[in-house]
Amino acid sequence: MTDSVGDSDDRRVAVVLGTRPEIIKFAPILNECEKRGIECLLIHTGQHYSDGLDQVFFDQLSLPEPDYNLEVGSLGHGEQTGQMLTGIERILLDETPDVVLVQGDTNSTLAGALAATKLHIDVGHVEAGLRSFDREMPEEINRLATDHISDYLFAPTEESRQYLERESVGGEIVVTGNTVVDTLYQYRDVVRRESDVLDEHDLQPGEFYLLTAHRAENVDNPESFEKLLTGVARFAERTGRDVVYPVHPRATSGLEEFDIEVPESIRTIEPLEFLDFLCLESEAALAFTDSGGVQEETCILGTPCVTLRYSTERPETVHVGANCLAGLEPDDICDAAETMVGKSGDWPVPFGDGNASERILDTVAAEEETDVEALEAPT
């Protein structure tokens, strides 16, 4: 990404990512780096190892191939994070970037931040300050640890900034908005032109529900998984609509291992490409999810959402009326869905104006200018 339009910036940036949400949320930052002529080293951990969840997103978002792919794949938390840490450290020692950007709350995020900070390389955490206040979620541990070792904390909202200030983090806090808004604003018109997923699956806009479920606490627990499916199916049957469920590989493993029968009203399909999934999110009457990213995306797209969890690190979606926490009990899922279905989607978007990536890179560039001024200042 070095031969680009614009004045070249000497500050070298490395981006560490490994999952579908990270690819989507880093896309506008990578594009902005290219626009500004900033040299950007792209390190892929391989945390998502399926082409359906990985390479196709690079292709559809017109992103460059990673400079490195560690191909770590699916392992236990400790082994996976350890292999990432070892691989990222080796790359950073060879490449010596000035700042490493990580995003969100995955094991890739934690490994990238740890590797960089131990080598005294600045760390910028994109989407800092999210809190579910549920330490049983491994993602919450990753968020907390990453925030407290980062030099730049790019908070998506005022609420996330306040959480960081209460914890007295040491880095510089900048409210930028969420880069997912940048991505959705940039690609929503492309969806209308290029996606034919509705025709492929014989779906009518506003006449189906969307389900995503992949979190370990849901799909690795047979009782939780069955209750989740029962609640969603019960509401679908009550309202006479089908549910479309693109099944994550982890969920597929759970269905097979626990011999769980998916109710007839829930139609399982293969994982979708980015543009097709975005189309389903846009056109569904209601989304059921345990994904933080889907909570954000549906809020931005104006689709009502029911979250199949007992806590959320995206409370802004609840505050504006776009989302409702249901938990996993079937009756509670039905009650939450009844509350949300039919909402108009005219709530305010709480995640910024679509210019988060510019603010993030402005901050990184400003630090370089400060450093240069300090070196040139008279003693």
Catalogue the active-site residues. Answer: 214
User: CA angle at residue 123 from 122 to 126, to 5 degrees?
Assistant: 145
121 within 8 A of 142, measured Cβ to Cβ: no
Whole-number Å distance between alpha carbons of 213 and 248: 7
284 within 8 A of 345, measured Cβ to Cβ: no
Q: Which residues contact 229 (CB under 8 A, 6 or more apart)?
A: 260, 262, 263, 266
Hey, how many other C-beta atoms are within 10 angstroms of the C-beta on 44?
A: 25
Specify the 3-state DSSP secondary structure of 246. Answer: strand
Whole-number Å distance between alpha carbons of 347 and 355: 20
Q: Which amino acid is at 17?
A: L
20 within 8 A of 56, measured Cβ to Cβ: no
Whole-number Å distance between alpha carbons of 171 and 65: 31
Burial class (CB in 10 A: 0-12, 13-18, 19+), 144: middle
DSSP β-ladder status, 305-307 and 122-126: unpaired
Q: Which residues contact 332 (CB under 8 A, 6 or more apart)?
A: 231, 326
Q: Which of 201, 229, 224 is nearest to 288 (CA)?
A: 229
The H-assigned helical ranges of the chain are 20-36, 55-60, 77-95, 107-118, 138-149, 158-166, 179-194, 197-200, 216-219, 222-239, 249-257, 274-283, 292-301, 315-319, 330-340, 356-376
**Structure tokens, 333:** 């899922």
